[in-house]
Amino acid sequence: MATPDEPGAIARGASAPNGSGRGNGTALIEAEHLELYFPVKKGILVDRTVAHVHAVDDVSLVLTEGETLGVVGESGCGKSTLARCLVRLHEPTGGTLRFRGRDITKLNRRGLQPIRREVQMVFQDPVSSLNPRKRVGQIIGVPMRLHGVDGSDVESRVRDLLHRVGLNPEHINRFPHEFSGGQRQRIGVARALAVNPKLLVLDEPVSALDVSVQAQVINLLDDLQDEFGLSYMFIAHDLSIVRHVSDRIVVMYLGKLMEVSPARELYEKPIHPYTQALLAAIPIPDPHENQARARTVLGGEPPNPIDPPPGCRFHTRCPHATEICATTEPPLAEYAGGHLAACHHLQSVGAEEIASAVRSSLSPTSAGDAMPDAEAARQAGDPAPGDPATGRGARTGATPPSPSAGPGSGAP
Amino acid sequence: MAERLLEVAELEVSFATEDGLVRAVDGVSFALHRGEVVAIVGESGSGKSVTVMTLMGLTRGVNSRFGGSARLGDRELVTASEAELERVRGAEIAMIFQDPISSLSPVMRIGDQIVEQIRAHEKVSKGAAMDRAVELMERVGIPRARDRARNYPHEFSGGMRQRVMIALALSLSPSVLIADEPTTALDVTIQAQILQEVKQLSQESSSGVIFVTHDLGVVADIADRVIVMYAGQVVEQGTLEEIFYDPQHPYTWGLLGSVTRMDRPPPRRLPAIPGLPPSLTDPPEGCHFAPRCPLRFDRCHELPPLQARVPGVAGHLDRCWLQAGDKRDRREVEGQIGLATEAVA
């Protein structure tokens, strides 16, 4: 039996079947109880730290080779900070971060250099993330030189990359402002690919683009993944776009993980009330369907991350919250099919399934041991609140009970 | 038919730039009736924002040229004097902008900003105006409005700021409300709240709403009629039903096809419209969408007029030479409306 504190326990606990063909199960990045608190300072001459912003609060996750992990949440939920931690643009204030099994939590600049080559980032804003005074050839070529590509090869490789990302290689001497938004994002992708990385962290790469262009960039990312054998961490603020790229999806709220699930399962059967609310909030581009579904509009706003609410972070806005939610933080529990959720009042999950769930080793240390009450679920009858994507037709056929809860039974 | 509030006819807006004349809005016509929500949809650069800003007189400048007309009741807005516009703005047409932080004054309390607008148009005491401001803030769902009126914009969250913008826009009960991408900067859960608010208010106040957006999901949620713009021109307009279930223009097909649908299994590849929108300094001759259109044929080098082409439906206009009868088969992609892009290599 592994304990969560033993190195590698989380990786073993979480390499659940990810439901899709991609991903070979070898952990690329492992985060264990990762924390990043930003200090809030006050004072004119002497900066006193008066509080902390709990940007990433005890998050554990594993990204395996070749898979795409989608990370979703509202603004301020810590998804971008988490991404920046994983590529070590921020140094975490707590927890451990491993890359290919090696601890990189506290590595300095020099120590990180070989890792920088393997982990690259694409930013949200294609305007401010490209130097306006550098030509495209320099923007893409400099990382190559820094990582030791021979000077004479650089130009031909830059041209090749431009071609791969769907830009005209003749435009190698143009400046960023001579390109449209979608083209600039392609330059950002080419720059990230310049050093042959294994993992691309994409921080809302298409949010700033028009819908028709979004689709072009998503399709490009899809092609490049197959071509270069890349792993992606894809961050987005809503669930509609990550669906097309992700093998697994992580839903975050106020610095914590709410639900982790194979992508298809998350859309067919979201079990966390927050995920359901996120899905229900997306309007469907079909007037009839849109009117037909009973949408529950989530009230209120995310609380202040400086002073997050006790217990379950979502309880202040959750339509199903009860007393226990305000006092006890729910652990991440693992259900059938590698579906993880941190909630006392799961939705669309049968009583048998709840009874056979196990506490996941990815659970935060602060979480209690209180697993969802199977007995209560049984008494309440079939929960089935209906399909949140359409809001229609209660899903009465509860999922079959599964005695085996996957290989994640490594909890103490 | 309800009372016609606003009538825009052949509106043209162009800007002189170093690179030549940018024809941002090129012959746009539409009408807005009382109690109706008209959505203007299009990609960035399609001229949707310039159209509505021109109605408010916000695009005037030494480099701007205007043509056509926009009549609000019996008042002409395109040629109105600055003084006349000042009386119209806020009182008869009000606007909600995309970015509430840059459209509110950072150095004035929220309540005072609403009071200032009320007192600029009406002779009321400060106290009475403040009472109205608080009432408005309550109406748009701001809790503890009396206290919150004393806060500055930076003390509000993005969603709350947008509610303040709506309160400000409603303060003089305008007959026309223009919302320019009011939810684009917001999270989905907050967007759902704001959309509900706008819908409810437009029903209560029976004013006309022009809703500018690029998101067809939002359109399906809120609009009665839809105007689709591309490269400065209206390419299709009709009722919500007509645009979503019987779209006539290939660009509309492409737009409908490229939105992700949460209620359907995802397609293997996201359908994208190939290519990029044209430059507005040098738009293509004929149909502006032709260079990106897989269905183009000889006649497309001639600009098709915007006219009703669907037999028996007078209000459904489009700008495409294809025969209405042929379209039903050509817009099907995997059982859904979309633009079959494989035809264009």
ipTM value of the model? 0.82
Query: Which of B186, B262, B337 to substitute to test the interface with A, most A CBs within 10 Å?
Result: B262
Reference B223, options B239, B206, B207; nearest CA is B239
Reference B246, options B320, B310, B308; nearest CA is B310
Using a pLDDT cut of 90, give the percent of chain A over it: 48
Alpha-carbon span B251 to B232, nearest angstrom:
13
| Residues A243, B193: C-beta atoms closer than 8 Å | no
Instruction: Output the CA–CA distances (angstroms, integers) from residue B39 to A125, B223, B247, in the order listed.
Output: 27, 6, 15
- 3-state SS assignment for residue A337: helix
Query: Looking at CA atoms only, how far is residue A306 from chain B in angstroms?
Result: 15
Q: Does A182 touch chain B (CB under 8 A)?
A: yes
Please tell me the predicted confidence (pLDDT) of residue A378.
66
Instruction: Output the CA–CA distances (angstroms, integers) from residue B25 to B22, B32, B60, B281, in the order listed.
Output: 9, 18, 14, 12
CA dihedral B290, B292, B294, B297 (to 10 degrees): 20
Reference A324, options A305, A347, A342, A300; nearest CA is A342
The single-letter DSSP state of residue B249 is S
User: Which residues are paired to B228 by β-bridges?
Assistant: B41, B236
CA dihedral B322, B325, B327, B329 (to 10 degrees): -140
Using a pLDDT cut of 70, give the percent of chain A over it: 85
Average pLDDT over residues A166-171: 91
| Residues B195, A244: C-beta atoms closer than 8 Å | no
Reference A308, options A50, A54, A58; nearest CA is A54
Tally of CB atoms within 10 A around B187: 24
- Tell me which amino acid residue B268 is: R
Pairwise pLDDT comparison (B18 vs A1), residue with the higher score? B18
Confidence of residue A24 (pLDDT cuts 50, 70, 90): low
Tally of CB atoms within 10 A around B292: 22
pLDDT at residue A262 is higher than 50: yes
Contact B163, B194 (CB under 8 A): yes
Please tell me the predicted confidence (pLDDT) of residue B345.
36
Residue B9, token pair as written in the block: 């006819």
Residue B338's closest chain A neighbor by CA? A212
pTM: 0.84
Q: Does B49 touch chain A (CB under 8 A)?
A: no
Residue B148, token pair as written in the block: 């919150």
Residue A180, token pair as written in the block: 């449209």
Please tell me the predicted confidence (pLDDT) of residue A72.
94
Q: Check residue A391 and give left, alpha or beta (phi > 0: left; psi -120 to 50: alpha).
A: left
Which residues of chain B make contact with A22, given a CB cutoff of 8 A?
none
Q: Is A400 exposed, middle or buried (0-12, 13-18, 19+ CB in 10 A)?
A: exposed
- 3-state SS assignment for residue B271: coil
Please tell me the predicted confidence (pLDDT) of residue A385.
45
Q: Per mean pLDDT, which range of A78-82, A148-152, A256-260, B316-320 is the poorest?
A: A148-152
Q: Per mean pLDDT, which range of A205-214, A372-381, A390-399, B50-59 is the poorest?
A: A390-399
Contact A187, A138 (CB under 8 A): no
Contact A384, A361 (CB under 8 A): no
Please tell me the predicted confidence (pLDDT) of residue A377.
67
Alpha-carbon span A130 to A127, nearest angstrom:
6
pLDDT at residue A13 is higher than 70: no
Task: Give the orientation angle of helix B110-121 with respect to helix B158-170, to 10 degrees.
Answer: 20
Please tell me the predicted confidence (pLDDT) of residue B32.
95
Contacts of B307 (CB under 8 A, 6+ apart): B317, B318, B319
Reference B255, options B201, B331, B143; nearest CA is B331
Query: Which of A178, A286, A296, A395 to substitute to test the interface with B, most B CBs within 10 Å?
Result: A286
| Residues A389, B260: C-beta atoms closer than 8 Å | no
- Tell me which amino acid residue A354 is: I
Please tell me the predicted confidence (pLDDT) of residue A64.
93
Query: Looking at CA atoms only, how far is residue A145 from chain B in angstroms?
Result: 32
Q: Does B185 touch chain A (CB under 8 A)?
A: no
pLDDT at residue A272 is higher than 70: yes
Average pLDDT over residues A267-285: 90
Reference B218, options B245, B238, B247, B198; nearest CA is B198
Q: Per mean pLDDT, which range of A214-218, A377-381, B31-35 is the poorest?
A: A377-381
Alpha-carbon span A182 to A51, nearest angstrom:
40
Which residues of chain B make contact with A239, given a CB cutoff of 8 A?
262
Please tell me the predicted confidence (pLDDT) of residue A404.
38
Contact B69, B76 (CB under 8 A): yes
Q: What angle do CA A260, A263, A266 make, to 5 degrees?
A: 65
Please tell me the predicted confidence (pLDDT) of residue A23.
57
Averaged pLDDT in 10-residue chunks for chain B of 345 residues: 89 92 94 94 90 93 94 92 91 89 91 94 94 92 91 89 91 92 85 87 86 92 95 95 94 88 79 84 91 90 90 90 84 79 48
**Strand B317-318 with B233-239, pairing:** antiparallel
Average pLDDT over residues A335-349: 88
Alpha-carbon span B246 to B259, nearest angstrom:
17
Please tell me the predicted confidence (pLDDT) of residue A290.
83
Confidence of residue A309 (pLDDT cuts 50, 70, 90): very high
